[in-house]
């Protein structure tokens, strides 16, 4: 690993803490061949899986509890099986829109000289 990708102790601690806290509220699911993100928050109680542009292993799924609560989410990891992390922020209004099956797109943080657009619905 080159020094340009090395994390400082503070960055490592912060990212570790965020990952641990996020694990309690975010369900990360594996990618499959099905791009149907129409699970919504309907009677089945399922959440919403995001589609990630230029994807190479990143994943994200919001739980129905998160969507129903309607609160803002910050620093949500989309790492999945990728070799580096990215994070997204969603405002309360965006969470409500996702719950109403409206399309919401946000840009992730930049890492390894790139970012991703994450789209729900």
Where are the domains positioned within the chain?
3-120
Higher pLDDT, 86 or 14: 86
Question: What integer pLDDT is reported at residue 66 of this predicted model?
Answer: 92
Q: What is the dihedral of CA 37, 62, 96, 110, to 10 degrees?
A: -90
pLDDT above 90: percentage of residues in the chain = 57
To the nearest whole number, what is the mean pLDDT of the chain?
A: 78
Question: What integer pLDDT is reported at residue 8 of this predicted model?
Answer: 78
Has this prediction a pTM greater than 0.85? no
Q: What is the pLDDT of residues 43-63, one digit of tens each?
A: 345 789 999 999 999 999 999
Q: 65-90 burial string, b = 16+ CB within 10 Å, else e?
A: ebbeeeeebeebbbbbebeebbbbeb
Question: What integer pLDDT is reported at residue 77 of this predicted model?
Answer: 94
Residue 22 has pLDDT above 60, yes or no: no
């Amino acid at each position: 690993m080159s020094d340009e990708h090395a994390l400082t102790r503070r960055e490592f601690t912060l990212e570790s803490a965020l990952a641990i806290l996020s694990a309690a509220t975010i369900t990360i699911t594996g990618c499959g061949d099905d791009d149907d993100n129409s699970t919504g928050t309907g009677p089945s109680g399922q959440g919403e899986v995001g589609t990630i542009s230029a994807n190479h292993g990143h994943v994200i799924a919001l739980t129905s509890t998160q969507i129903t609560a309607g609160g803002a989410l910050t620093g949500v990891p989309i790492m999945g099986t990728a070799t580096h992390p990215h994070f997204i922020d969603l405002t309360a209004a965006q969470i409500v829109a996702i719950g109403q099956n409206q399309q919401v797109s946000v840009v992730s943080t930049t890492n390894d000289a790139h970012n991703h657009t994450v789209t729900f619905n």
